Amino acid sequence: MTILPSGRSAQDEELSAYASAVGAYVLWGLLPLYFMVLHAVPAEQLVAQRIVWSVVLVGAMLAAVRRLDEVIAVFTDPARLWRLTLSATILAANWLIFIIGIDAHRVLEISFGYFINPLVSVALGTVLLGERLSRGQVLAVAIAFVAIALQAWGLGSFPWISLALAFSFGIYGFLRKTVDVGAAPGLLVEATVLAPIALGYLAWHGMNGTLVFGPGLGMMALIAASGVVTALPLILFARGVRGLPLTTIGILQYFAPSLHFVLAIAVFGEPLDPVRLVSFALIWLSLAVFSRDLLRRRAKAAAEAAKNPVV
């Protein structure tokens, strides 16, 4: 058994990484419950509060571990700052749509959106980077298109929440991959860029007597906890990614929309008619095809690397 310098075995480190990654996705999956409790707070104000409290918490955390220099470095680099400003805008839009979906009791649409997100990321890679799709990916995307059409039929309208969440998060992920910055410092830059707008928006509501910050200390604490809700899963996720293969992370990411699906039915009482059930079944089939293809290609790449080791 390999013993690491810290005295922990490699197996212990892997289990810790698994626990961190699963913890992150479970927390993201339970987010609808948090925002359900805060339903009296307008969605726009919740997003603004989330931005402000993220600056406070993540800023304090990075100051404690002396990593604020990474944030300052981004603000002196126009290219990175511009990309993070763009990613911040898209992230704020994603947060807003997510909360609107919960307030409207459309959590099934949220679940559907995050289930199709990996397939949207593949499509974006094809369009933006010219990446070629494997046969398995083509089949998975084709099945997903049928599922989206069925979802629209079952809803009786365009599934804009699902698609907006999937595309906004997919584009956000693409942009973040192009910026050389850590997860927490990157989030602090994004939140700091948006903070003046968020503070101005909250101040305007405060002056007009329409700011919702309470009632009671309990509700105030819950609103302030939006910083923890934002930062904690991100920190856990970053820790998990460092210790696990990306293939494993790719499979674990389905934890969150699975929890959304369960909460939509068990807690929010949303109806699951036969047409929408079939659309979800098709998405699950699509993801099974996608995951199988991913695992097969990873195994093939590993086998090729073993045959041709780099000396």
Q: Return mean pLDDT, the chain.
A: 87
**Are the C-beta atoms of residues 85 and 197 closer than 8 Å to each other?**
no
Average pLDDT over residues 254-272: 92
Residue 263 clears pLDDT 80, i.e. is over it: yes
The phi, psi pair for 54, rounded to 5°, reads -65, -40
Q: What is the largest CA-CA distance in the chain?
A: 69
What's the pLDDT score for residue 247? 65
Query: What b-and-e string marks burial along 25-60, b requiring 16 or more CB atoms within 10 Å of the CB?
Result: bebbbebbeebeebeebbbbbbbbbbbbbbbebbbe
Sign, CA torsion 177/169/211/269: negative
Question: How much is the pLDDT for 38?
Answer: 93
Comparing 3 with 48, the larger pLDDT belongs to 48
The predicted structure's pLDDT at residue 3: 47
How many C-beta atoms surround the C-beta of residue 97 within 10 A?
23
Is the backbone of residue 3 left (phi > 0), alpha (psi -120 to 50) or beta? beta
| pLDDT more than 70, % of the chain | 94
Cα separation, 145 vs 151, in Å, equals 10
pLDDT of residue 1: 45
Task: Supply the pLDDT for residue 7.
Answer: 55
**Residue 199 identity:** L
Tokens of 201: 């928006």
pLDDT at 15: 83
pLDDT band of 305, cuts 50, 70, 90? low
Residue 111: predicted pLDDT: 94
Calculate mean pLDDT across residues 35-56: 94
Residue environment code for 163-194, b if the CB has 16+ CB neighbours within 10 A, otherwise e: bbbbbbbbbbbbbbeebebebbbbbbbbbbbb
pLDDT of residue 248: 74
DSSP class per residue in 150-189:
HHHHHHTS--HHHHHHHHHHHHHHHHHHTS---HHHHHHH
Task: For residue range 267-278, list pLDDT tens digits in order.
Answer: 999 998 888 889
Q: Tell me which residue has tokens 């036969």.
A: 274
As a whole number, mean pLDDT of residues 65-72 equals 95
